[in-house]
Homo-oligomer: A and B are copies of this chain.
Amino acid sequence: GVSKCTRPAGAGLSPDSPVNLDQGDPTMFEEYWRKNKESCDVVIGGSELMSYFSNPHIMCWYLLPELEDSIRRLHSLVGNVSTEGRHIIVGNGSTQLLQATLYALSADSPQPVSVVCAAPYYSCYPELADLLKSGLYKWEGDAYDFDKEGPYIELVTSPNNPDGSIRGPVVNRGDGKVVYDLAYYWPQYTAITHQLDHDLMLFTFSKSTGHAGSRIGWAIVKDEKVARKMLKFMEVMSIGVSKEAQFRAAKILGAICDGYEGFRPIDTENFFEYSKRLMIERWERLREVVNQSEIFSLPKFSQEYCLFSSEFTETHPSFAWLKCKEELKDAQSVLRGQKILARSGTKFGVDPTFARVSMVSREDVFNAFLERLSAPKGAVSNGNQA
CB <8 Å contact, A215 and B236: no
Closest to A27 in B: B51
Which residues of B are found within 8 Å of A39, using beta-carbon distances?
46
The answer, among B27, B62, B216, B255, for a CB contact under 8 Å with A50, is B27
CB <8 Å contact, A30 and B50: yes
Of listed A51, A232, A236, residue having the most chain B CB within 10 A:
A51
Which residues of B are found within 8 Å of A12, using beta-carbon distances?
56-57
CB <8 Å contact, B95 and A239: yes
Q: How many angstroms between the C-alpha atoms of A135 and B41 in the bound complex?
A: 45
Tell me the smallest distance from the CB of A118 to a CB of chain B, in Å: 22
Closest to A210 in B: B50
The answer, among B40, B215, B228, for a CB contact under 8 Å with A239, is B215
Q: A37 at the A/B interface (Cβ < 8 Å)?
A: yes
Q: How many angstroms between the C-alpha atoms of A72 and B172 in the bound complex?
A: 54
Of listed A27, A47, A56, A135, residue having the most chain B CB within 10 A:
A47
Identical chains in the assembly: 2
Q: A343 at the A/B interface (Cβ < 8 Å)?
A: no
Q: How many angstroms between the C-alpha atoms of A8 and B55 in the bound complex?
A: 9
- Decide yes or no: A45 and B37 within 8 Å by CB, A6-B61, A61-B2, A239-B5 being known contacts: yes
CB <8 Å contact, B96 and A237: yes
Q: How many angstroms between the C-alpha atoms of A291 and B213 in the bound complex?
A: 51
Which of A80-88, A157-165, A240-248, A317-325 makes up part of the contact surface? Answer: A240-248
CB <8 Å contact, B23 and A238: no
Q: A203 at the A/B interface (Cβ < 8 Å)?
A: no
Tell me the smallest distance from the CB of A49 to a CB of chain B, in Å: 5
Give the number of chain A interface residues (Cβ < 8 Å). 84
CB <8 Å contact, B25 and A51: yes
Q: A212 at the A/B interface (Cβ < 8 Å)?
A: yes
Q: A78 at the A/B interface (Cβ < 8 Å)?
A: no
CB <8 Å contact, A240 and B214: no
Q: How many angstroms between the C-alpha atoms of A7 and B231 in the bound complex?
A: 13
The answer, among B7, B50, B236, for a CB contact under 8 Å with A56, is B7
Which residues of B are found within 8 Å of A51, using beta-carbon distances?
8, 25, 27, 212-213
CB <8 Å contact, B236 and A238: no
Which residues of B are found within 8 Å of A136, using beta-carbon distances?
132-133
Which residues of B are found within 8 Å of A386, using beta-carbon distances?
none
With A2-B59, A51-B213, A214-B242 already in contact, 20 other A-B pairs whose C-beta atoms are closer than 8 Å? A2-B231, A5-B235, A8-B52, A9-B53, A11-B56, A12-B56, A27-B50, A33-B46, A33-B47, A33-B50, A34-B46, A40-B45, A41-B45, A44-B44, A93-B238, A96-B238, A134-B135, A215-B238, A215-B242, A215-B243
